[in-house]
Structure 1
Amino acid sequence: MKTRRIAALCMCAVMTASLAACGGSGDKGASEGGKDKGGKLSVMIWDNYQEPGLKEIIADFTEETGIEAELQVVQWNEYWTLLEAGAQGGEMPDVFWMHSNESQRYMSNEILLDLTDKALDSELVDMSKYPEEIKELYTYDGKVYGIPKDIDTIALWYNKTMFDEAGVDYPDETWTWDTVVENAKELTKEDGSQYGIAIRNDNNQEAYYNIVYDMGGEIISDDKKTSGYDDPNTIKAMQYIEKLIQDGSMPSMETMSENNPDILLKSGKSAMSFHGSWMVSTFKQEDYIKENCDCAVMPMDADSGRRVSIYNGLGWAAAANGDNTENAWKLIEYLGSEKAQQKQAELGITMSAWDGTSDTWAGCAPEFNLQAYLDMRDDMVVRPYSRNTVTWENRASEIFKDVYSGNMSMEDACKQAAEEMNETLSEE
């Protein structure tokens, strides 16, 4: 599909019919043999900071195969609107990223190209080299619909200058969540010019999911049938967020609704925040962060000593009804190969999914302690998901706004989130 087909997606972005209504759109035989009309492949992603490195890798692919591909970046919210509209209307990019929040919906509706046999017969892709839980994110009814692109972990970022001025020791492996609460209060200035920490109500993977699993709670049961928000351990963990709110250690809900934690970190408004490894490609280009900030491993639970990182990974996928599925697979195959995965890490694009290729990523920004991210691989829990992840995650985030505004206790909010999440799960 040529670039003009991406433009066509933009024109139909207002079409937001559910994927359930277009479940048969991919059932046109493409997955059984594939059509191949040639032409330049269209590739769609959502991260500007990964664009330069991925363009270099795609150029390598073109040099080796003669197959051309054009990369386009579409911002996160627009990305899913365009992809869904394209699925409904039959016009999708040839190759694109898939996320665990959405993969179950797309796979169950036969919208993605079945890659099972292709991956099995491939000389470049070895499914045994990718983390099992990441493979599961892009597998449905025993069929593979996405080749793992990367993995990510979470680390604690902090402003060294602010710590020095406050006489607070830098975060290290001895820090607990109690240490975070105590020092966030110490690092907060009464005049509102500086806050100890910034955690938004929707910072789930990058913040409170980690606390929950540290303390023995859960967000969703292993069978994905019930919510864990009303688990006593989950509530106990979430009350650490409540404590930070009550202490005045975080900016107001209004401020954080307009500024993500990374913005507050790089503008000198927040002394600490939690960020996924995908943010490093951004941070290494920010002069203020390079001069003032660094990262450390996540805090641990004081009782259990557990230090969890919620992790996730994107998948490379293709449209089942695309008109260039054979070449689309060749590109996905190359992007999932050990060679491309190694280069992805070396270029600092992100940590790679292929076993053993991520270690070189730590050297992509020597001014930061990126080893912290690699160390967080010791205890990883895959990002909670189900078929309708977006529905229950968004609703929980809305409920937590009442805690931030002081209109509800965290315990009541967690119980309400569990009740509504259970309703959503019962309909899956």
Structure 2
Amino acid sequence: MHAKPRWRSSVVVAGLLLSAAACGGGADSGDGKVQLSYRIWDKNQLPAMQRIVDKFQATHPNIRVGIQLTASQEFWTKLQADATGGSAPDVFWMNGPHAQLYASNGVLLPLSDAIKSGQVNLSNYPEALSRIYSYQGTQYGVPKDFDTVGLWYNKKLFDAAKIKYPDDTWTWQTVAQVARKLTDASKGVYGIAAPAFGQENYYNTIFQAGGQVISPDGKSSGYDQPAAVAGLRFWTDLMKAGVSPSLKSMTDTFPSQLFESGKIGMYYGGSWNAIAFAQNSAVKDGVDVTVLPKGTKRAVVIHGLANVAYAKTKHPKEATEFITFLGSKEAADIQAQAGAVIPAFNGTQDAWVDSMPQYHLRSFLDQLAYAVPFPTSKNTDAWQTQEPTILGPAWSGEKDVDTAAKELAAAMNTALGKEK
């Protein structure tokens, strides 16, 4: 399995949302118990989610929860249709790029009362993660899990080149120097994969250069600022130096697969890659990970999922009780032991770290101190889907990165201007 960031699976068109007039969610079960529906998209997490549901039902005998598994490529299309028709599930997974869109259209249940009463305590989760699920001062989601990005490296290639493994002393300059030493184009081996990816690559370096992708008020692009251009240029310089496969190669074969095949020395990859690498006998023990190298400063993008409730659920009290349990230490421990994701509840991540002891997975946690929320707006997809198209020519060398950055800023500002 070659995992991709969990937001990259679909596009939601804001204009089609939302007139959720009718009440939706689960129907009463007929035996006096409240029936809740819970929609998720990852079949690998289904066993852990079912164990969590079983635990919840054991302490809430008046509530039954039915899990709806919807494939990731259909999840947002189906949720959009259900929300428009007033029949969305009572509780469902939410990601950063769609959170403001659904919150602003009145689809999500505000958690203000649960937070005020102490039922939900946001200090249990990384602050930068909770912030993703707040809109205009109101919290709509309880963090479920999170991911950060690290520098993965191939130990065999480093050993062959007699280069010390990466560590927390590395800077952008170290990456560039080592990438040159590891590259042997005649053997099809490259020092680094430098695809035009936001979450894994240039968002991190933009923040490390002191730049921003979007202004704090969410109204203007940061791409035309010098610091953001510097963050982009880090990657385009690696492409120019010939130490990364071409853009076409990384389009034909996903970069993590090139890394797993032993053709790439270094790869900026997420915590979500760990389980796929661990399951691949070719690289299982031959790769490792450390914190991201430093630019002008340290920074890493944090993203993660939250559990949210449908604003029109027939059972807001029970849905809130279930969301609260989903955000509990008990639920987080079950997730951690499964190894698929890093649980969001502070202090429960050790089981995830211990689930794959061959890797320095603590690197992903060590970066929480300087984590920056994944950049979003009310209609994130409207500008985020334009990034690879506009930046692609800068990666392939057809266009100067300054020019591409200005074009992207203009397109992004146009999209942001349409958000009401």
Quickly name the TM-score band, shorter chain normalised: 0.7 to 0.9
| Residue 168 (structure 1) shift | 2.2
For the Cα contact (< 8 Å) 2:42–2:71, is it kept in 1?
yes
TM-score normalised over the length of structure 1: 0.86
Alignment of structure 1 residues 159-308 onto 2, 5 Å: 159-191=154-186, 193-201=188-196, 203-301=197-295, 304=296, 306-308=297-299
1:246: Cα distance to partner? 1.1
Return the alpha-carbon distance in structure 2 between the equivalents of residues 328 and 281 of structure 1.
31
Q: What secondary structure does 1:157 align onto?
A: strand
CA contact (8 A) 2:41 2:70 kept: yes
Aligned to 2:320: 329
d(CA) in 2 for partners of 1:28, 1:85: 13
Q: Which residues of 2 match residues 67-82 of structure 1 at below 5 A? A: 67-82=63-78
**1:143 to 2:134 alignment:** no
Equivalent residues in 2 for 1:340-359, closer than 5 Å: 340-359=331-350
2:296 equivalent to 1:317: no
Cα distance in 1 for residues equivalent to 2:178 and 2:123: 43
Q: Check 1:393–1:317 CA distance in 2 against 1; reply closer, same or farther (3 A cut).
A: same
How big is each residue's C-alpha offset from its partner over 1:213-250, in whole Å with a ceiling of 9 and x where there is no partner?
11111111112222111111111221111111112222
Is the CA contact (8 Å cut-off) linking 2:126 and 2:368 kept in structure 1?
no
C-alpha distance in structure 2 between counterparts of 1:183 and 1:122, whole Å = 50
In 1, the alpha carbon distance for the partners of 2:22 and 2:387 equals 38
Q: CA RMSD in A?
A: 2.7
Name 1:51's counterpart in structure 2.
46
Give unmatched runs, 5+ long, in structure 1: 1-13
Task: Give yes or no for the alignment of 1:376 onto 2:341.
Answer: no
Query: CA shift at 1:103, angstroms?
Result: 0.5
Aligned to 2:82: 86
The one-character-per-residue Cα deviations of 1:132-177 (angstroms, maximum 9, x if unpaired) are 3333322334433211112322111111112112222211112111
Separation in 1 of the partners of 2:69 and 2:248?
A: 29
Task: Compute the displacement of 1:311 (Å).
Answer: 0.8
Structure 2: how far apart are the matches of 1:133 and 1:378? Answer: 10
* Aligned-partner SS, 1:191: helix
| CA offsets 1:329-388 (integer angstroms, 9 cap, x no match) | 332221111221233234434222223222443212111011111111121111111112
Following the alignment from structure 1 to structure 2, what is the Cα–Cα distance between the partners of residues 76 and 119?
30
The separation in 2 between residues aligned to 1:71 and 1:193, in whole angstroms, is 46
Change (3 A) 1:223 1:413: same
How many Å separate the matches in 2 of 1:318 and 1:361? 27
The 1:375–1:253 alpha-carbon spacing in structure 2 relative to 1, beyond 3 Å, is same
CA distance in 1, matches of 2:72, 2:284: 26
1:42 aligns with 2:17: no
Residue 409 of structure 2 corresponds to 418
Q: Give the 3-state SS of the residue equivalent to 1:291 in structure 2.
A: coil
1:405 aligns with 2:396: yes
Distance 1:258 1:94 in 2: 40
Distance 1:320 1:165 in 2: 58
Bigger mean CA deviation after superposition, 107-116 or 408-417 = 107-116
Q: Which residue of 2 aligns with 1:9?
A: none
The change in CA–CA distance for 1:83 and 1:400 in structure 2 (over 3 A counts) is same
**Distance in 2, Cα, partners of 1:36 & 1:128:** 34
Does structure 1 conserve the Cα–Cα contact (< 8 Å) formed by 2:27 and 2:34?
A: no
Aligned length: 406
Q: Which moved more, 1:144-153 or 1:234-243?
A: 144-153
| Partner residue of 1:393 out of 366, 379, 384 | 384
- Contact in 2 for aligned 1:229/1:414 (Cα 8 Å): yes
Report the CA distance shift for 1:257/1:216 in structure 2 as closer, same or farther (over 3 A): same
3-state SS in 1 of match to 2:269? strand
Whole-angstrom CA distance in 2 between matches of 1:342 and 1:391: 36
* TM-score normalised by structure 2 residue count: 0.88
Deviations 1:264-323 (A, max 9, x none): 22222322211222333333322223221110111012xx3x221111221101222345
Closer, same or farther: CA 324–118 of 1 in aligned 2, 3 Å: same
- AA in 1 matched with 2:98: E
CA distance in structure 2 between the partners assigned to 1:35 and 1:55 by the alignment: 19
Greater than 6 Å deviation, 4+ residue runs: none
Q: CA deviation at 1:419?
A: 1.1
**1:30–1:113 Cα contact (<8 Å) kept:** no
What is the 5 A alignment of 1:121-136?
A: 121=117, 123=119, 125-136=120-131
SS of residue paired to 2:331: helix
Query: Residue 289 of structure 2: SS of its match in structure 1?
Result: strand
Judge conservation of contact 2:91–2:319 (CA < 8 Å) in 1.
Answer: yes
**8 Å contact 1:19–1:84 — kept in the other structure?**
no
Provide the secondary structure at the position in 2 that maps to 1:171: coil
